[in-house]
Amino acid sequence: MQSTNPATSFNDKETRKDEMHQTIEAWCEELTDLVAEANASEHFQEWLDVQSRFHQYSYRNTLLIQAQYPEATKVAGYKTWQTEFDRQVNKGEQAIWIWAPIIAKQCPECGNSPRYHESTDCSYNETPSSEWSRGPVVFRPVSVFDVSQTEGDPLPGLQTDATGTVDGCFQALCDASEKLNIILDIVSPAAWEHGRAKGVCVTAVSGSKSIPIEIKESDDRAAMAGTLIHEYAHALLHAGSASVSTPERAKREVEAEAVAYVVGRHLGLDMRGSAFYLAAWQNDEPDEITDRLGRISRTAQTIIGAVGGDE
């Protein structure tokens, strides 16, 4: 996989446009190969296996989890942490409460579930309980806990952040926001309101042509630089768009991270983590980067031009 590269410059005004296009196209081809390698890696397959064991919560329960524990990333029940992940909830942790559906089969005559039917006086036996129809859905509160509230075997993670030495490139990226018509707000961890996200492209203020984005402050400036480029790409490509389906959202994440990969490489950052980020989003569409190469290239060139040094 790609190692840290020196920053790339396109200084010859006569050949810069063609050279930049060819370089970006080559980098995108490399990125496609890196994603395929990441997808086939044992580490990524291990990560996928763990992800599949976590329940997908409804929108309502997701809101409940975020309201009670905004930092939540991976949530499961008390026994699930023990049996599925060999982890134990820490003593004294406060539970996160959600609603769990209960759909039980009912006796056609008395309405009781098979479990309680035997203890009643109902004599219905025309059909076995396995053939009874399901009754109405009811909900009961159940407790769950976030991974940060547990201890035990570590869960496999993916290193997706940019790494390397930023030198002055982070400040140059921040200064580029004005040229890109973006309002940049770097928010302290204490004031961050977007959960586990490291950056967000937020809804523009009514009447304003500028696009606001927020980045969570961190001591890791290289990681912040990668996140900032990613959100710049979202702002330039997707701001103002209506809410989209999950497949289209995945395609937008591929676009934004591919732009981050290209611009990050141009600035000399180590962008190997982009391959794992994209592998997690691409699913069964390995050609997504190539299919959207034009949009990725144009957006990357816009950001590179705004950062300066190649104008």
Domain assignment of residue 9, yes or no: no
Kindly give the confidence (pLDDT) of every residue in the chain, 311 residues in length, as a single tens digit, with 9 standing for 90 and above. Answer: 444 455 566 655 656 678 888 899 999 999 999 999 999 999 999 888 888 888 888 888 988 998 999 888 899 999 999 999 999 999 999 999 999 887 677 777 677 777 666 667 787 776 777 667 776 667 889 999 999 999 999 998 889 999 998 888 899 999 999 999 999 999 999 999 887 889 998 765 555 678 899 999 999 999 999 999 999 999 999 887 666 677 788 889 999 999 999 999 999 999 999 999 999 887 656 677 888 899 999 999 999 999 985 44
Domain assignment of residue 53, yes or no: no
Burial of 4 (0-12, 13-18, 19+ CB in 10 A): middle
Residue 105 shares a structural domain with residue 134: yes
Residue 203 shares a structural domain with residue 294: yes
- Which pLDDT score is estimated for 86? 94
Residue 88 shares a structural domain with residue 190: no
Residue 180 shares a structural domain with residue 275: yes
- Which pLDDT score is estimated for 230? 96
Q: What is the dihedral of CA 245, 247, 249, 251, to 10 degrees?
A: -150
Contact partners, residue 289, CB within 8 Å, separation at least 6: 28, 31, 32, 35, 254, 258, 278, 296
- Token representation of residue 103: 């759909």
Domain assignment of residue 62, yes or no: no
- The domain boundary, picked from 96, 129, 152, lies at 152
Domain assignment of residue 213, yes or no: yes
Residue 177 shares a structural domain with residue 140: no
Residue 217 shares a structural domain with residue 133: no
How crowded is the C-beta side of 134, counted as CA atoms within 13 Å? 7
CB contact burial 205-214 (16+ within 10 A = b; e otherwise)? eeeeeebbbb
- Which pLDDT score is estimated for 224? 97
Domain assignment of residue 271, yes or no: yes
Domain that holds residue 131: 75-152
Contact partners, residue 46, CB within 8 Å, separation at least 6: 156
User: How many structural domains comprise the chain?
Assistant: 2
Domain assignment of residue 69, yes or no: no
- The domain boundary, picked from 152, 175, 194, lies at 152
- Which pLDDT score is estimated for 2? 45
Residue 179 shares a structural domain with residue 230: yes
- Which pLDDT score is estimated for 121? 73
- Which pLDDT score is estimated for 1? 42
- Which pLDDT score is estimated for 311? 45
Residue 186 shares a structural domain with residue 145: no
Residue 176 shares a structural domain with residue 300: yes
Residue 216 shares a structural domain with residue 124: no
Residue 244 shares a structural domain with residue 127: no
Domain assignment of residue 10, yes or no: no
- The domain boundary, picked from 99, 132, 152, lies at 152
Q: What angle do CA 217, 218, 223 make, to 5 degrees?
A: 110
- Token representation of residue 247: 């497949």
Residue 117 shares a structural domain with residue 40: no
Burial of 89 (0-12, 13-18, 19+ CB in 10 A): buried
Does the CA dihedral 244-49-28-284 come out positive or negative? negative
Domain assignment of residue 96, yes or no: yes
Q: Is 268 helix (H, G, I), strand (E, B) or coil?
A: coil
